[in-house]
Structure 1
Amino acid sequence: MSADKPALRVLLCAPRGFCAGVVRAIDAVEKALALYGPPVYVRHEIVHNKYVVEGLKAKGAVFVEELHEVPAGTTAPVIFSAHGVAKSVPEDAAARNFFAIDATCPLVTKVHREATVHHKRGREVVLIGHAGHPEVIGTMGQLPEGAVALVETAAQARSFTPRDPERLAYTTQTTLSIDDTAEIVAILRERFPAMVGPQKEDICYATTNRQEAVKRVAPQVDAMIVVGAPNSSNSQRLREVAEREGCRASALVQRAADIDWAVFGSISSLAITAGASAPEVLVEEIIDAFAARFAVAVETVHTAHEDVFFPLPRQLRTDAAE
């Protein structure tokens, strides 16, 4: 151990970082670039991570927020992000004769299908999620205006008035806090016992596993760093979980340069995790930053094994023509 560096025990959460949906979305952009060459247009950030987006920009991806920003008449691929889009977006792409590729995470597509089925069966759909998040906009956009009621908080769950309490169903955003969502669902179920829910919970396996890992390690450390972007819902939830579990200092950081050493410079134990759209290289960068100031001993804490894989969108699979 270095004589001039204080000791720092680092607990590395596992699983952490990229989930299968994020891997699929990034691979979709890279495969499209390899097959068709630049530019490849991407509607919205493919995943919520600046490092990933900048890396894809350097390879020839062009990010736009709306389809009208894509040049008319282009034959270049236009890819929809992992968060999913409203029904009107692929319809608009078809009307403009764009070569559209949908990189929506299959677990988000599952929520879209559930909402659509509930609507067809005459149920009002309650969506538990965060207003303005691309995934919520996409899910609400699967159904006609007014067919989906957004509930963000327990207070809103208590005050929500359905059109018909006997014909009600709920779905959720895939990246929510497990505990907050359970509280909201419990309130709604108590008020509306006939409410129908998903057969399998909508909060995705990756969100669940990363939050469970944080719950395990947060009480054991002085501080926690969540590597992720401020607009990443699942990353924000990880920081909140750490705080709730008693970790006295928790921060969401994008890069090592964001670390507040006034807070993190005098600790003896640290946990590190990463949101589902944060690459492992950024975790390593954070560890290196601490290793420059501390004598670091890293332990990995495994709480789940992940082997989920999603194939690429059909247009990008080499076996698609076979």
Structure 2
Amino acid sequence: MTKPALTLYLAAPRGFCAGVDRAIKIVEMAIVKWGAPVYVRHEIVHNKFVVDGLREKGAVFVEELDDCPLDRPVIFSAHGVPKAVPAEAARREMIYVDATCPLVSKVHIEAERHHQNGLQMVMIGHQGHPETVGTMGQLPKGEVLLVETAADVARLAPRDPDRLAFITQTTLSVDDTAEVVAALQDRFPNIVGPHKEDICYATTNRQEAVKAMAAKTPAMLVIGAPNSSNSKRLVEVGTRAGCTYSQLVQRAHDIDWRALDGITSIGITAGASAPDVLITEVVDAFRARYDVTVEHVETAVENVEFKVPRVLRDPA
């Protein structure tokens, strides 16, 4: 039986970013250096396949420092943690390694600098997301006001409307965030913004690739986890850019083939915490059902690399 023809548009860049790659290396190198088990506070990155693979190598994932024994190393996830967490680990004389993405750490430093200059912070982010919790936890309670949407801006009650600065979660929708920033600047004309936008290069690049891909096909799949902020934003960006079908899948077995019946083209991308093996798995699933022609939609080339902490590079 002849397979139906399908053009598969593959977004570039897609998948792992430098911060995710670094965080995974940190866990793997810690297991080699100190042996198993190594404890990780929160999922190191938001991807079940990655987390399960590290668990098989000897990582134990927990939610709080209290769940970690004092005599084993603990690693803090790529999303960052409140300042109180490493302080408590140091007080307990634990070995700990901070796998916070350097671009998230940049936002932490920025918030600290504004606070020292007497400014109250407004954070654009998602309530309860680990990155938001970690960033807000860099400053004393009440010093960071959280907004998620432009509508939230109208309800803000800052200490001094003329002494404000804003920061953002690194994995937000670029377009949605621009709307919130515009609302902040409209209501608080003196609000101070970041020197360089806080949404990270990887988030921005993946969203731009999705927009370019959406111009070529009405259907799109995003490979990523349901708790991955940047992956969910890619689905939303695809829908906004004109894809009538834009869905998140974790693995190939999650694809709803009935919903794709009759398609002649589809776009494929992956969130920043999805490994290449899952992208290949999805492409192979399409090859099994269709006569696939692959076209790459490249909007940026990434060559960013972050070093792991010195404690893991030091053989002593």
- Which TM-score band applies after superposition, normalised by the shorter structure? over 0.9
CA distance in 2 between partners of 1:95 and 1:18 (Å): 34
Is the 2:220–2:238 Cα contact (8 Å) retained in structure 1?
A: yes
1:265 is displaced (CA, Å) by: 3.2
Per the alignment, residue 168 of structure 2 pairs with 172
RMSD: 1.1
Q: 1:35 aligns with which of 30, 33, 36?
A: 33
1:123 is displaced (CA, Å) by: 0.6
Per the alignment, residue 79 of structure 1 pairs with 75
Per the alignment, residue 137 of structure 1 pairs with 133
Q: Identical aligned pairs, as a percentage? A: 65
CA distance in 2 between partners of 1:248 and 1:305 (Å): 28
Alignment of 1:155-166 (within 5 A): 155-166=151-162
Letter in 2 for 1:20: A
SS at structure 2 position matched to 1:159: coil
SS at structure 2 position matched to 1:288: helix
1:136 is displaced (CA, Å) by: 0.2
CA distance in 1 between partners of 2:61 and 2:73 (Å): 12
Alignment of 1:168-317 (within 5 A): 168-317=164-313
Question: Which structure 1 residue ranges, 4+ long, deviate > 4 Å from structure 2?
Answer: none
CA distance in 2 between partners of 1:42 and 1:243 (Å): 35
Letter in 2 for 1:194: N
SS at structure 1 position matched to 2:123: strand
- 1:28-87 deviation digits (Å, cap 9, x = unpaired): 00111111111111000000000000000000011101011112x31x221000000001
CA distance in 2 between partners of 1:240 and 1:90 (Å): 35
Letter in 2 for 1:216: A
- With the length of structure 1 as denominator, give the TM-score of the two structures: 0.96
Is the 2:41–2:77 Cα contact (8 Å) retained in structure 1?
A: yes
CA distance in 2 between partners of 1:203 and 1:180 (Å): 11
Are residues 1:113 and 2:109 paired? yes
Is the 1:44–1:81 Cα contact (8 Å) retained in structure 2?
A: yes
Letter in 2 for 1:115: A
SS at structure 1 position matched to 2:60: strand
SS at structure 1 position matched to 2:184: helix
Per the alignment, residue 16 of structure 1 pairs with 14
Are residues 1:59 and 2:60 paired? no
1:158 is displaced (CA, Å) by: 2.8
Greater displacement, 310-319 / 132-141: 310-319
CA distance in 2 between partners of 1:206 and 1:131 (Å): 22
- 1:210-243 deviation digits (Å, cap 9, x = unpaired): 0000000112113100000000000000000000
SS at structure 2 position matched to 1:231: coil
Is the 1:7–1:295 Cα contact (8 Å) retained in structure 2?
A: yes
Letter in 2 for 1:87: K
**Gaps in structure 1 of 5+ consecutive residues:** none
CA distance in 1 between partners of 2:109 and 2:299 (Å): 30
Is the 1:222–1:268 Cα contact (8 Å) retained in structure 2?
A: no
SS at structure 2 position matched to 1:220: coil
1:88 is displaced (CA, Å) by: 0.8
SS at structure 2 position matched to 1:226: strand
1:173 is displaced (CA, Å) by: 0.2
Greater displacement, 293-302 / 202-211: 293-302
Greater displacement, 5-14 / 156-165: 156-165
